[in-house]
């Protein structure tokens, strides 16, 4: 039970690696240890980008240990002048310690925040690092992020024999599973070799006695040719080009297929780090591609009258890889799945437009084939939008840009999740079942609509977008154009999230009452806590639920080691956790918003939200506010 008193004694300051152990989900993907491997690998890759490493070896041992070795310069072993510990200890034990902030040691790098390899150390049962440097083999060991022994010399090596080897075993209490997703890992390793021509990557999976070596002298072009084998491409030679400046570079390869392929290649990277959610570089690439093709079509009068191309038309049949390199890239989160560097978008757009414009005018026959595919895609898109089998909109307005729609048209199964914030929206898009679940992120707290008329609230862009997505106008009893069978409110489990959920409930009760009466409105119940006990994982909705779960674990197992994670918000949950707890119909909890003749819902909403009831609300809070538990 939460204490009523709150003073300075309640304030904790987490030091060293404790923040990572306390909230691992804020620093890495806790579904499996693949991201830990990537963090160590990226340090070796940064050495390769800088020209100091040509070989990287990755080994997955039978006992669960993971080993990554490179022939780079080796981590610094001398004593840091300010912190009075060796460079390697600083790197592995202190968050935000690294040589990649100034840009003096690495022009382009994936390590930005200085937390990557220290996170690996914090979340590993044991970690051993060997550094070959200055003709000596140095060794240091750690248990659960704590130093086991000081850095020591364990042997001699040749003057030119340098590099770093890190061997670690992920601690299972921090992960849903400690099994490595080998297929995804191999794809990542292959891509790294492709994006860094001249780099050799060796992979050894001891359990399956599998050994693979990747080396791509031609880089992107040979990768695209390899992956697209069996696909009919319209260009005999894929377009491969690059442009660079002092602070950023972009390289891309692209081709088009006659027919869309389910497994077509669409990959983007920043400093050799995969960005599956795209971002600035992908948006810039699509923009430059569109502008160059529109220019080509207009000059040669290829576009039918009234037809306008968009970026998706140009790229719908394309297969491509984009590799950007830049100083100080801005990512959407620690897992670096989306690039948010706005300036880089302009650079990539300009570079792509210049390169493609020149290519199209030199290869007019092939350019016309590309234009034909884009025109066919645009015509198909326009034809599909005019079909009224499933009403996409009401009275004409386009669907909101932030809406990620589903494929199904069956009201018996379709679901729309109204999600709090872009971060949670991104995770929800990955967690959803695309066939019947749609996602629409909302910008924080929406307008308090309880005292307003329906014709007033439609002036709010957020509510207008929401109304357009649903297919029903505020205040209307006509729901024949309803686009989803279930509309689910998905907000954080904390007080801010509950406030947002209350505002949305008020919106539906006041202005979309027909949907409430039809039983179409639901509130998702995301957990506030994750409780791990050995290999057993349970989720709790609130403090009371958490305490009950802990009691059950203790009753069953005596004095078990229990790890409790409090979710800061939906955006902190990885997609697999979000899918299990709030989106999978088999495991989620949904509460239907309903009212009956005996309910005092209107009176309660008046008390909570009406501006006229401020004095009564103040009195109620003074009497009942202490009962609230978060």
Six-digit token pair at 91? 């790197």
C-alpha 529/C-alpha 531 separation (Å) is 6
Q: Say whether 407 sits in a helix, a strand or coil.
A: coil
DSSP code per residue over 231-265? S-BS-SS-EEEEEE-SSEEEEEEEEEBSS--TT--
Closest CA to 434 of 399, 406, 392: 406
φ, ψ dihedrals at 475, nearest 5°: 85, -10
- For residue 532, list its beta bridge partners: 537, 563
Give yes or no for a contact between 449 and 469, defined as CB atoms under 8 angstroms apart: no
Helix ranges restricted to H, 83-174: 87-93, 116-122
Six-digit token pair at 334? 């620690």
C-alpha 279/C-alpha 273 separation (Å) is 13
**CA separation (Å) from 488 to 264, 460, 493, 583?**
33, 21, 14, 10
Rounded to the nearest 5 degrees, what angle is found at the Cα of 588, between the Cα atoms of 26 and 180? 50
Q: What is the DSSP letter of 583?
A: I
- For residue 163, list its beta bridge partners: 132
**H or E element at residue 529:** strand 529-533
Six-digit token pair at 280? 């600035």
Match 């409110």 to its residue by tokens. 489
C-alpha 24/C-alpha 92 separation (Å) is 16
Give yes or no for a contact between 255 and 221, defined as CB atoms under 8 angstroms apart: no
Closest CA to 446 of 512, 404, 502, 514: 502
C-alpha R_g of the chain: 28
Sign of the Cα torsion 506, 511, 512, 513 reads positive
Six-digit token pair at 408? 């199904």
Task: Verify whether residue 71 is a known catalytic residue.
Answer: no
Residue tagged active-site, from 47, 139, 420, 532:
420
Question: What number of CA atoms fall less than 13 Å from residue 68's CA on the CB side?
Answer: 22
Residue tagged active-site, from 70, 71, 313, 492:
492
Six-digit token pair at 278? 């795209």
Residue tagged active-site, from 137, 206, 422, 496:
496
Residue tagged active-site, from 413, 494, 542, 584:
494
φ, ψ dihedrals at 150, nearest 5°: -70, 160
φ, ψ dihedrals at 521, nearest 5°: -100, 130
Task: Verify whether residue 492 is a known catalytic residue.
Answer: yes
Q: How many CB atoms are closer than 10 A to CB 227?
A: 17
What are the residue numbers of the active site?
Answer: 420, 492, 494, 496
């Amino acid at each position: 039970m939460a204490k009523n008193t709150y003073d300075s004694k309640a304030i904790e300051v987490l030091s060293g690696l404790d923040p990572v152990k306390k909230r691992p989900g804020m620093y890495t993907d806790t579904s499996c240890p693949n991201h830990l491997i990537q963090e160590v690998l990226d340090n070796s890759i940064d050495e390769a980008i800088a020209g100091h490493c040509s070989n990287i070896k990755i080994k997955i041992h039978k006992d669960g240990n993971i080993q990554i070795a490179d022939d780079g310069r080796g981590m610094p072993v001398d004593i840091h002048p300010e912190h009075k510990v060796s460079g390697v200890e600083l790197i592995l034990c202190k968050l935000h310690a690294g040589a990649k902030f100034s840009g003096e040691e690495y022009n382009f790098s994936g390590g930005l925040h200085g937390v990557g390899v220290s996170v690996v150390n914090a979340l590993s049962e044991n970690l051993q690092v060997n550094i070959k440097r200055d003709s000596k083999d140095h060794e240091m060991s750690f248990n659960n992020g704590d130093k086991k022994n000081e850095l020591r010399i364990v042997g001699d090596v040749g003057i030119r024999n340098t590099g770093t080897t890190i061997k670690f075993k992920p601690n299972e209490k921090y992960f849903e599973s400690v099994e490595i997703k080998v297929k995804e890992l191999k794809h990542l390793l292959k891509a790294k070799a492709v994006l860094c021509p001249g780099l050799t990557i060796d992979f050894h999976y001891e359990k399956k006695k599998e050994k693979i070596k990747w080396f791509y002298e031609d880089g992107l072009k040979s990768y695209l040719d390899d992956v697209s084998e069996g696909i009919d491409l319209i260009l005999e030679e894929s377009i491969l080009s690059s442009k660079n400046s002092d602070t950023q570079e972009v390289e891309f390869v692209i081709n088009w297929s006659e027919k869309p392929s389910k497994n077509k290649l669409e990959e983007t990277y920043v400093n050799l780090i995969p960005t599956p959610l795209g971002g600035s570089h992908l948006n810039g690439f699509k923009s430059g591609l569109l502008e160059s093709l529109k220019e080509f079509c207009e000059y040669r009068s290829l576009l039918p009258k009234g037809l306008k191309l968009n970026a998706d038309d140009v790229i719908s049949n394309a297969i491509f890889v984009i590799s950007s390199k830049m100083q100080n890239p801005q990512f959407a989160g620690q897992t670096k799945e989306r690039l948010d560097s706005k300036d880089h978008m302009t650079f990539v757009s300009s570079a792509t437009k210049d390169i493609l414009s020149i290519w199209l005018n030199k290869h007019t026959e092939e350019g016309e084939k590309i234009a034909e595919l884009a025109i066919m895609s645009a015509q198909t898109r326009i034809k599909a939008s005019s079909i009224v089998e499933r009403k996409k909109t009401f009275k004409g307005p386009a669907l909101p840009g932030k809406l990620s729609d589903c494929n199904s048209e069956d009201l018996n199964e379709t679901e729309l999740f109204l999600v709090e914030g872009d971060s949670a929206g991104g995770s929800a898009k990955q967690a959803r079942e695309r066939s019947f679940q749609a996602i629409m992120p909302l910008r924080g707290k929406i307008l308090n609509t309880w005292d307003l008329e329906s014709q007033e609230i439609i002036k709010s862009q957020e509510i207008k977008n929401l109304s357009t997505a649903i297919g029903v106008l505020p205040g209307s009893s006509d729901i024949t154009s309803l686009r989803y069978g279930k509309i689910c409110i998905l907000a954080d489990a904390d007080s801010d999230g509950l406030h947002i959920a209350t505002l949305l409930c008020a919106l539906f009760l006041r202005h979309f009452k027909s949907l409430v009466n039809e039983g179409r409105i639901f509130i998702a119940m995301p957990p506030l806590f994750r409780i791990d006990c050995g290999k057993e994982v349970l989720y709790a909705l609130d403090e009371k639920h958490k305490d009950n779960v802990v009691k059950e674990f203790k009753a069953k197992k005596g004095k078990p080691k229990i790890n409790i994670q409090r979710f800061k918000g939906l955006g902190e949950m990885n997609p697999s956790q979000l899918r299990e707890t709030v989106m999978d119909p088999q495991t989620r909890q949904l509460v239907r918003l309903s009212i009956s003749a005996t309910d005092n819902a209107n009176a309660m909403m008046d008390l909570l939200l009406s501006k006229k009831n401020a004095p009564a609300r103040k009195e109620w809070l003074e009497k009942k506010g202490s009962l609230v538990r978060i």
